[in-house]
Structures are given as C-alpha cells and as structure tokens.
Amino acid sequence: MLRKSLAVLYTALALGANPVAADIAAMRDGDMKKLALHSTLVALADVALLDAADEQKSLADFHGKWVVLNFWATWCAPCRHEMPSLDRLQLALPDIAVVPVATGRNAVPGIQKFYTEAGIVNLPILRDPKSQLSRSASVMALPVTLILNPQGKEVARLIGDAEWDSDSAKAILTALSAQ
C-alpha cells in the first residue's frame, strides 16, 4: 500500500500536480502503463522526412493536431506487430494524426509490401533514412512512440510496442486532445 501511495505521489509531483495530467496518468492501463508523461514539453528538431515518392515532408505539416509519432522499421518484429493497432487507432480517432516514421534503411517497396500484407490503409509512408529525427529525439531502440501536442511538442513517450487502439490508449488520447 505504501509503495502504491508513493507511486501516486511521485506521479503527481512529476506532473507538476496538474490535475489533467494526473487524470491521464490514472487512465494508463495495460501497455499504456509504459507511457511516460512529461512534466516539461520537449521540442523536436525540424528534420526533413521523405514520403514514398521521395517528396520532403515535415512534422510541421501536422501542427494544429495531436500527433502519435511512431518510430519503426520493417525489420523490427515488435514494430510490425504494433503497426496494425496504429492503423486501427487512426481509423478510430481521425482527428488525431497517427504518423509512423520508418527510421534508418527502409526501402519503399519493403514498406509498401508490409503495409499490403498487414492491411495498413490509414497511415502515410514517411521515412527518416539517415535517422536524423530519431537521433535528435533520443530514440535508442525501436519501436518508440511520442505523443505531440498541436504545437509539435512532445508531451509523452512510450518505449516498446503497444496496442494503440486499446480502450486505455484511446481514452488517454481523447483526454489529451480535449485540453
């Protein structure tokens, strides 16, 4: 009991005793228990990404929306496992941008083949071929998912794979987007 009380106290202090953040922390269940909510917003580097046609894109293209930014790779088994849940999340919460970024060497035909095999139809193909964005965001392993506010600042991070279309994930993202 003491351990749980200390965990609640620590979470409240870490979140700056922000009641909304505390409510969101309380919503974490299942895989979402790995979601770390930040007490201070984190800025991301403005790094050019490439789409499937090698056109430059930017995270700034998503400003004005809450973003679920997922770093993944075609060779990463946990990434491949979680991608369908990200696709279902995009369908379930269309006002939130789910943005997967294939980091490192990921050939477009390989990404397209995986999307087809996994039935991914709601997500864009974006690539970070030199891992510039992932390095600048201190992504050390895959998958890693960042939640960005409408100004493009990181508010939370989850390391490892997760079921992003779970009730807990949808509740957290709905609560965040209502702020």
Q: What is the pLDDT of residues 128-171, one digit of tens each?
A: 999 999 999 999 999 999 999 999 999 999 999 999 999 999 99
Q: What is the pLDDT of residue 29?
A: 84
Does the pLDDT of residue 7 top 80, yes or no? no
Contacts of 87-92 with CB under 8 Å at 24 or more apart are 87/118, 87/119, 87/120, 87/121, 87/122, 87/123, 88/164, 88/165, 89/164, 89/165, 89/169, 89/170, 89/173, 90/122, 90/123, 91/122, 92/165, 92/170
The residue extents of the domains of the chain are: 2-177
Q: What is the pLDDT of residue 9?
A: 33
Is the alpha carbon torsion for 88, 79, 29, 158 positive or negative?
Answer: negative
Q: What is the pLDDT of residue 28?
A: 87
Per residue in 69-111, pLDDT tens? 999 999 999 999 999 999 999 999 999 999 999 999 999 999 9
The pLDDT-based confidence of 8 (bands split at 50, 70, 90) is: very low
Q: What is the pLDDT of residue 26?
A: 84
Does the pLDDT of residue 21 top 70, yes or no? no
Residues belonging to the chain: 179
What is the overall mean pLDDT for the chain? 89
Does the pLDDT of residue 1 top 50, yes or no? no
Q: What is the pLDDT of residue 14?
A: 43
Q: What is the pLDDT of residue 27?
A: 84
Per residue in 29-65, pLDDT tens? 888 999 999 999 999 999 999 999 999 999 999 999 9
Q: What is the pLDDT of residue 112?
A: 97
Domain 2-177 CATH assignment equals 3.40.30.10: yes
Statement: the pTM of the whole predicted model exceeds 0.85: yes
